[in-house]
Structure 1
């Protein structure tokens, strides 16, 4: 067999499931075996009623009925209490009750005392046929659990051989007919043949259940992959619709302003700021797309170094103060000097997106950007007096392309800003928390725990593998 054709090693989950199915397979056959056993008892009693003292035969029947009642109670307990339970419950139940089958074998083995060398040869022959049929039937009904099947056959054959040995050696003192020895030899051979057949049948059952489990896992995997593909198509369609809508507006505005300016050049001072604003809107949209493309392609490059927090926030103030002034908002800065270990470009992108988001959704009041020294390290906070975010949306806003329904400001952008923030803060190892009250405003807190370059790269790779499992398989060891 070629190495690539070898079956994959079974996992613990697979082994547990297979063992549970073997227990279920065995228990499904037990009620029908009770009726067969009752028929065989009636045959044995009918055949041996003239060859034995009634007390001996009645004693054996009473013992058999007691064991049969115990076995029936076990079957009923399984059906009412265990059948619908998880696999562990099936295995635990079977471990507690497995001795009912070896005890049944002991009772049947004792029938040898009723007919061996005590009945006519014809009756003995029929009883031996009954015992052989019972043993062969046991490998079909019990082979699902190899240990139980072996115990049943061993006790059945061992009890019969012990009774025969007592009769031949102790009672007859080796003076009995020669055929006794041939019967004993045939019994030993038949016993071993049945053990081998039962083991092979058990292996067949086990392989069948292993294949069934792996087929189920394959179907489940294919179902997940199909659903993931459908979700990806849905996201792509939603993205294309959103992109077409969001890009068309500023581009259309640029076209209108250009035509207007061509017809009335004297309005250049009035139209130029609008053209600049529309151009910035287009650039912002494309910046979001480029950030998303880098994240989803796994091409994020990390350059972890000491970052001067005051310098970074002052740079962002210069960038966003004109935007706040244009909307009539106050931008306040509260800067606590300090340095942190992070990627300066990615950190600036994160804080910039949070400030941009705050400005976008704030119509009156203002935005506060603060850096604070805390026992856990430096922290950046972005406060706004905007519309606030309802609790139902506070987890959803970090999803790709998500826009809070009814929020003013959602008509601009793709809904990627906070998604990109969440991805970058996870990679950098800077926990981000959110508190918001509808109608009162929102605060984002970014805890600037030191970034470890190696761990950050691993987090980036893990995020990539989670989005695209096939990428991890293709590039794995």
Structure 2
């Protein structure tokens, strides 16, 4: 029956890991192999000892000891430098040192010269048994690494056959006994059988490690998904707690104003504007929620087009000037005509959030929104004379639900405005930076690099994937 070659592994990472584990498995057996080799060397010398042949015996024993020392040194290097390291280091180590096993096989193959047709049949039988045992043991100890096992068996068999061929053909001139040929035939058959058995063992080892790798990957994937589910639950809990807290105030105010209006209807002109403001506050909170839901679900739609900056700024001024004036602030717009390539709706949302945020945290002075043309790209800047942001909070303010603890006004929102801004600017490819001095004010700078539709779509998908993987 023809043995199929081992199936290839799925990925380079899996291939490297499996190869590393096969090397690790092989190295775990080598101290036992060394001990057996150390016992066999004196046994062969003792069985074949002859005063006339002692130089050859001792010479071979010296070679065998030298080969054993080479393997011991390889084990020492492995234990000291490689054993606790990763698969890549294991594969690299064995690529450098695996030839010491081939050299060892060559030395053991030369032992055939000591006994084949040079000793009694009983001594030859004992030596052949030891060689056969050594070859079979090499299958168990080396089959983890196919090339090493094949190299060892091939070298051992070919060296023994070469020695026997020299004795039969050159020294005896094909005039030796017939059983020599039977021994050669048996050796060839034994060699082929061992190769097949070794291949089967190797396939078993490899499949076991491939299955182990894939099980580990599955466990890691399940662990990540479980953690993602737990994180989602935690985010949901934080979200609900924050939502309950932030919605309670304007909804409670609406109830109070409604009761007040019911008790004193003549105050309608005074109470109605307060009801409107509370309603707007609730709407702003829900707008943030809907923006977050669209981002996290991946349903955000991109419509990349040429955006007229002057028109965009005019729309923002009309929208936010009443809000600034209601707080006694000045909203100034310094616009240089020009166009950029972006999503007009999302860009409007980003800049609008920055302006709204600036107005919200500015009590005196005003907000300046300007456009500049620097280093070949347009830039929008939003300046305010508000509270400023301490350096310790400047990275955190872009996290979901984060509110600067010392800032008044944080109770009016979810802490989602700048988080949404950061997500949208990342998708659009518009780098956002800030500079701030506590007590003096803050400036946000939005670099309007042209948005590539394909790249923006990929970033949107990656943004959702990153949320799922957290």
TM-score, structure 1 as length reference: 0.92
Q: Which is worse superposed, 157-166 or 330-339?
A: 330-339
- 2:75 maps to 75
Q: Equivalences for 1:24-35 in 2 at 5 Å?
A: 24-35=24-35
Deviation sequence 1:234-283 (CA, Å, 0-9, x none): 11111111111111110000101111122223333332222221111111
Cα distance change of structure 1 residues 181 and 378 upon mapping to structure 2, 3 Å threshold = same
Q: Does 1:293 align with 2:293?
A: yes
- 2:323 maps to 323
- 1:428 maps to 428
Asked if the contact 2:157–2:187 (Cα under 8 Å) also holds between the matched residues in 1, the reply is yes
- 1:65 maps to 65
Cα distance change of structure 1 residues 99 and 243 upon mapping to structure 2, 3 Å threshold = same
Give, in angstroms, the shift of residue 15 of structure 1.
Answer: 0.6
Return the alpha-carbon distance in structure 1 between the equivalents of residues 348 and 53 of structure 2.
Answer: 100
Q: Which is worse superposed, 306-315 or 22-31?
A: 306-315
- 1:96 maps to 96
Asked if the contact 1:432–1:445 (Cα under 8 Å) also holds between the matched residues in 2, the reply is yes
- 1:49 maps to 49
Give, in angstroms, the shift of residue 456 of structure 1.
Answer: 3.3
Deviation sequence 1:57-77 (CA, Å, 0-9, x none): 111111111111111111111
Asked if the contact 2:9–2:210 (Cα under 8 Å) also holds between the matched residues in 1, the reply is no
Return the alpha-carbon distance in structure 2 between the equivalents of residues 274 and 52 of structure 1.
Answer: 119
Q: Once superposed, which parts of structure 1, at least 4 consecutive aligned residues long, lie more than 6 Å away?
A: none
Give, in angstroms, the shift of residue 468 of structure 1.
Answer: 4.5
- 1:359 maps to 359
- 2:128 maps to 128
Give, in angstroms, the shift of residue 466 of structure 1.
Answer: 3.8
SS of equivalent to 1:373: strand
Return the alpha-carbon distance in structure 2 between the equivalents of residues 303 and 63 of structure 1.
Answer: 78
| Contiguous gaps of at least 5 residues in structure 1 | 1-6, 470-477
- 1:475 maps to none
Return the alpha-carbon distance in structure 2 between the equivalents of residues 430 and 263 of structure 1.
Answer: 53
TM-score, structure 2 as length reference: 0.93
Q: Does 1:403 align with 2:400?
A: no
Give, in angstroms, the shift of residue 153 of structure 1.
Answer: 0.8
Return the alpha-carbon distance in structure 1 between the equivalents of residues 241 and 8 of structure 2.
Answer: 44
- 1:473 maps to none
Give, in angstroms, the shift of residue 169 of structure 1.
Answer: 1.7
- 1:195 maps to 195
Give, in angstroms, the shift of residue 182 of structure 1.
Answer: 0.6
- 1:278 maps to 278
- 1:138 maps to 138
SS of equivalent to 2:147: helix
Cα distance change of structure 1 residues 427 and 81 upon mapping to structure 2, 3 Å threshold = closer
Q: Equivalences for 1:45-444 in 2 at 5 Å?
A: 45-50=45-50, 53-444=53-444
Q: How many residues align?
A: 463
Give, in angstroms, the shift of residue 10 of structure 1.
Answer: 1.3
Return the alpha-carbon distance in structure 2 between the equivalents of residues 8 and 109 of structure 1.
Answer: 33
Asked if the contact 1:378–1:447 (Cα under 8 Å) also holds between the matched residues in 2, the reply is yes
SS of equivalent to 1:411: helix
Give, in angstroms, the shift of residue 52 of structure 1.
Answer: 5.4
- 1:472 maps to none
Give, in angstroms, the shift of residue 444 of structure 1.
Answer: 0.9
Cα distance change of structure 1 residues 118 and 327 upon mapping to structure 2, 3 Å threshold = same
| Contiguous gaps of at least 5 residues in structure 2 | 1-6
Cα distance change of structure 1 residues 46 and 454 upon mapping to structure 2, 3 Å threshold = closer
When the two chains are superposed, the root-mean-square deviation of aligned CA atoms in Å is 1.9
Return the alpha-carbon distance in structure 1 between the equivalents of residues 131 and 393 of structure 2.
Answer: 72
SS of equivalent to 1:279: helix
